[in-house]
Amino acid sequence: MVTEEDVRRLALALPETAEKPMYGTPAFYVRGRWFARVREEGDLLVLPVASQEDKDGLIAAEPAKFRTMPHYDGHAIVLVRFGAVDAEEMGELLADAWRLRAPKRLAAESDV
């Protein structure tokens, strides 16, 4: 099970990542574009995914890990349950979200 501190450590290890609040909770940005946010509940992480199809596939394949809520309907955004993933998987999910939001040149130049 990961904690908010694990998420923070993993996210801030990614190139040019900064933390600042979004809606009163910790969020992580790469060059000003958000790629992860802790929800108010404190046990869910909001992450962008590549497409609505990817979102639907994750939720269908592993509903214990991934979910959504009406607020995110129509958006390629998934919620990840902290208690359902380990640090390695969370790191991979954060890296995927980082690559989606990072400028193309930065993403191409990095090892992420």
| pLDDT tens, per residue, the chain with 112 residues | 899 999 999 999 999 999 999 999 999 999 999 999 999 988 999 999 999 999 999 999 999 999 999 999 999 999 999 999 999 999 999 999 999 999 999 999 998 8
Count of domains forming the chain? 1
Q: Which of 73, 93, 69, 77 is nearest to 6 (CA)?
A: 93
Beta bridge partners of 71: none
Q: The domain that contains 93 carries what CATH number?
A: 3.90.1150.30
Q: Which domain holds residue 60?
A: 4-105
Which pLDDT belongs to residue 43?
A: 93
Residue 38's pLDDT is 97
d(CA 18, CA 28): 6
Domain membership flag for residue 111: no
Q: What is the pLDDT of residue 1?
A: 87
Q: Which two tokens stand for residue 51?
A: 């497409």
Quote the tokens at residue 69. 């809520």
In a domain, residue 81? The reply is yes
Query: Do 19 and 50 form a contact (C-beta atoms < 8 A)?
Result: no
Domain assignment of residue 112, yes or no:
no
- The position carrying tokens 């993933």 is 85
pTM of the model: 0.95
Q: What are residue 89's DSSP bridge partners?
A: none
